[in-house]
Amino acid sequence: MSDERPQKPLPEEQLSREATSLEKAPSVSGPGASVAPVLPGQPVAAPALRASDADRERVVERLRDAVAEGRLDMEEFQERLEAAYASRTYAELEPLTRDLPAVGGAPAGATVAAGPGQEQAAWPERIGGAGTSSTAVAVMSGFQRKGQWTVPARFNAVAFWGGGDLDLREASFSQREVVITCIAVMGGIQITVPPGVEVDVRGIGVMGAFDQRGNPGPLQPGAPRVVVTGFAMWGGVEIRVKPLKSDRENKPRRRKEL
């Protein structure tokens, strides 16, 4: 009977055997295959990178533009919006805008017709910059903001036994979305916006009201979003949609039938 015992492989031989066995192992793919973990220092493919809040917001902004352009209906927008906020990686965000052109773009060979007043709007040129003023107060008096001025990201308007007029038709906007907070007590505030601008009214009225009048029409690509919020007691806040006088004059008139 031999006393010889099997020798243990040296570390170099053991590593060589393990590498050979890994090379010969069949690859597993398909829906049921498990994904190998990413080891520290190992490069990660771009689609697998984690998305940031800013990445998600950029996708949401593009989806809003697609709704304004008529490329998505509200049901599709809601589905993609929920998916965007639930996404964790670039791979999950990418399909949400895969079938959409760049902002303000159109398919090759397509022509985009500008509607009445759309040339006047020139929204990309009117968004950005510092706000002209951030507060307007009227106590037994009135205030007015009209013409060419820049609406800040947040604007506060207060009317107590008085009235105020905010005309946004020729205004620029510091950001794509601005919030106007109105406090009207035994007074009134009127906000005028041009057609094609999205308006979101969230104010609360107690023996008062937040009233939106006029048809905004189809949203224009790149147009800002105006959120109107606040409180009205024995007073009111009215949001009107009204084109500029020059736009009305340039609009072709319908001939009366005899």
Tens digits of per-residue pLDDT, 198-250?
Answer: 999 999 999 989 998 887 778 888 899 999 999 999 999 999 999 886 655 55
pTM for the full predicted model: 0.53
Structure tokens at 190: 């009127």
Tens digits of per-residue pLDDT, 235-248?
Answer: 999 999 998 866 55
What amino acid is encoded at 168 in this protein?
Answer: L
Residue pair 163/140 in contact by the 8 Å Cβ criterion: no
pLDDT at 218: 83
pLDDT at 37: 44
Tens digits of per-residue pLDDT, 117-126?
Answer: 444 457 888 9
pLDDT at 159: 96
pLDDT at 74: 83
- Per the DSSP assignment, residues forming a β-bridge with 204 are 231
pLDDT at 187: 93
Alpha-carbon gap, residue 117 to 194, rounded angstroms: 9
Alpha-carbon gap, residue 128 to 172, rounded angstroms: 8
pLDDT at 185: 95
Residues 6+ apart with CB under 8 A from 257: none
Q: What angle do CA 80, 82, 84 make, to 5 degrees?
A: 65
Q: Mean of the pLDDT values across residues 86-92?
A: 87
- Percentage helix, strand, coil, to 5, in the chain? 25, 25, 45
Mean pLDDT computed over every residue of the chain: 76
